Amino acid sequence: MLKAIKIRLYPSDDQVVYLNKLFGCSRFIYNKCLNYKISTYEKEKKSTSLSDTGKVLTSLKSEFTWIKESHSKVLQQTLINLESAYKNFFREKKGFPNYKSKHSNQSVRFPVDAISGVNGNRINIINALKDIHFKCSRSDEKYLNKHQDMIKSGTLSKNKAGQYYFSILIDKPNKIIGDGTGMIGLDLGIKDFIVTSEGQRFENLKSTRNNQDKLSRLQRQISKKVKGSNNRNKARIRLAKFNNKINNQKEYYLHSVINQILSENQTIVMEDLNVSGMLKNHNLAKSIQELSLNRFKSILKYKSEWYGRELIFVDRFFPSSKLCGKCGYKKSDLTLKDREWICPECGSVHDRDLNAANNIKSEGYKIKIGLSSPELTLQESKTVVPRRMKKQIEESYHFI
């Protein structure tokens, strides 16, 4: 299992100059080779390979001698990245590669033989980038020092706030955390970020909304500055740093919530939400985007694999909020405004989110034992569980 450990770098002034040159050369090579691939296809109607772009790199080195100041293996990795972007476009139907801009986030990749090693809180990458002070969690620092021979590659990046980071891809064996043995259902929402089937609620931080006044003030400061001036650049950096702070707080919160859920439970069940479709609702789009649902899902998936947990996704069309958890009645006229509702069949009073979490948990258990499919679209009916199976499920409720 591969894990990426991201560390914050604090390079010296000379190293900052070299890093900026490295980013510039990599961006220049990427754009030149991308233009070569596009123009060759338009003129000759044929695709180019990695060896063809390698020849372009050689000719560029002879034409522009300053390219030779940058590490050759980093420039070769740039060509590999371009080739991968092309393959992703044609094979996986991802976006067409774009030209890189100096105004966006910058990054270069180092192969394993370009990373010298780690010594305490100092890292040696290449000769020009030796003994750089870095910061990360204490556990990650210990792991890097102990398992330096397991490093696979590294990506050095610079964000819009002028901060430098180094993401190290390293082999990490799976490990078990906590003694979780049960199953839990998760209902994700806007009012509460997560409501579990155990009744626990994780609040929605509303990180963007709560900081909207300061964000607006920083954006106004940029708009009042003269374009191209140093004051405008300083205002831009202040805004970028504040946005970075908000993102870091949100990322920390997601990891802490997921770690708590995984440490206490063996099986986690949640809905396979269509986030891109949900964002088309313009009344809720900003609130949904603020939750970072896709990021939560991706973190939960890879951490479940790391820690040996089972992750089950319930079909997105499963009416978790509309089903009565007691008798199975489906209240088709339930709206988003209804936070509580009473089942007309059995008279049970339901909290919308808690009821949804319990239904997700029950559906996850049926998927686990083969009584349901994660891609099943339920039809309109009062009872969603066949009578012949109801007794079997009720006898199994001691597990969930």
pLDDT in tens, 258-281: 999 999 899 999 998 888 888 888
Cα dist from 225 to 40, 244, 249, whole Å: 43, 22, 29
pLDDT at 281: 80
Measure the CA–CA gap between 350 and 343, rounded to whole angstroms: 8
Q: With 50 as the cut, is the pLDDT of residue 347 above it? A: yes
Please confirm, yes or no, whether 271 is among the known catalytic residues.
Answer: yes
User: What pLDDT does 385 receive?
Assistant: 43
Give the orientation angle of helix 387-395 with respect to helix 352-368, to 10 degrees. Answer: 100
Q: How confident is the model at residue 132 (pLDDT cuts 50, 70, 90)?
A: very high
183, 265 contact by CB (below 8 A): yes
Q: How confident is the model at residue 377 (pLDDT cuts 50, 70, 90)?
A: very low
SS3 45: coil
Cα–Cα distance measured from residue 375 to residue 273, given in angstroms and rounded to the nearest whole number: 12
Catalytic residue among 264, 271, 290, 363: 271
Residue 216's contacts (CB-CB under 8 Å, 6 or more residues apart) are none
Q: Which letter does DSSP use for residue 360 in this model? A: H
323, two tokens: 């089903």
Q: CB 291: neighbour CB atoms within 10 A?
A: 22
pLDDT at 380 over 70: no
**Taking the alpha carbons of 130, 131, 133, 134 in that order, is the dihedral positive or negative?**
positive
Provide the pLDDT for residue 372. Answer: 63
Whether residue 296 is predicted with pLDDT greater than 80 in this model: the reply is yes
Catalytic residue among 44, 52, 63, 187: 187
What is the chain's mean pLDDT, rounded? 86
- Tokens representing 277 are 């479709």
**Residue 374 pLDDT greater than 90, yes or no:** no
Q: Are 361 and 198 in contact (CB under 8 A)?
A: no
Separation between Cα atoms, residue 58 and residue 64, nearest integer Å: 10
Q: Which residue has the tokens 């990360």?
A: 136
User: In the numeric block, which tokens belong to residue 246?
Assistant: 């908000």
Instruction: Note whether 384 and 325 are within 8 A (CB).
Output: no
pLDDT top residue among 195 and 399: 195
**Residue 381 pLDDT more than 60?**
no
What dihedral angle (degrees, nearest 10) is formed by the CA atoms of 24, 27, 29, 34?
-160
Token pair 């909020």: residue: 321
Q: Residues 264, 290, 353, 363: which is the catalytic one?
A: 353
Task: Find the mean pLDDT for residues 356-367.
Answer: 90
Report how far residue 4's alpha carbon sits from residue 10's, in angstroms, rounded to the nearest whole number: 19
Beta bridge partners of 109: 155
**Does residue 353 carry a catalytic annotation?**
yes
CB 108 within 8 A of CB 28: no
**315 noted as active-site residue:** no
What is the per-residue pLDDT across 204-259, written as a single tens digit (0 to 9) for each? Answer: 988 888 999 999 999 999 999 999 899 999 999 999 999 999 999 999 999 999 99
Average pLDDT on 55-70 reads: 93
Between 121 and 393, residue with greater pLDDT:
121
Q: Give CA–CA dist 246/241, Å, rounded.
A: 9
Number of CB atoms found within 10 A of residue 296's CB: 23
- CA dist 197 and 362 (Å) reads 10
- Chain centroid to Cα 262, Å, comes to 18
Q: Residue 265: which residues within 8 A CB-CB, separation 6 or more?
A: 180, 181, 182, 183, 184, 309
Region of 323 please: left (phi>0), alpha (psi -120 to 50) or beta. Answer: beta
For strand 122-124 and strand 182-188, is the pairing parallel, antiparallel, or unpaired?
A: unpaired
- Do residues 328 and 384 touch, judged by C-beta distance below 8 A? yes
Q: Could you please report the per-residue DSSP string of 185-216? A: EEEE-SSEEEEETTS-EEE---HHHHTHHHHH
pLDDT of residue 392: 45
Indicate left, alpha or beta for 162 from its phi (over 0: left) and psi (-120 to 50: alpha).
left
Size of the chain, expressed as the number of residues it contains: 400
Which tens digit of pLDDT belongs to each residue from 300-338?
Answer: 998 998 888 999 999 888 888 888 988 888 888 888 888
How, if at all, do strands 265-271 and 310-314 pair? Answer: parallel
For residue 175, pLDDT over 60 is answered with no
pLDDT of 326:
87
Per-residue pLDDT, 373: 61
More confident residue, 93 or 34: 34
What does the pLDDT average to over 119-125? 92
For residues 89-112, give the mean pLDDT: 88
**Helix, coil or strand: residue 9:** strand
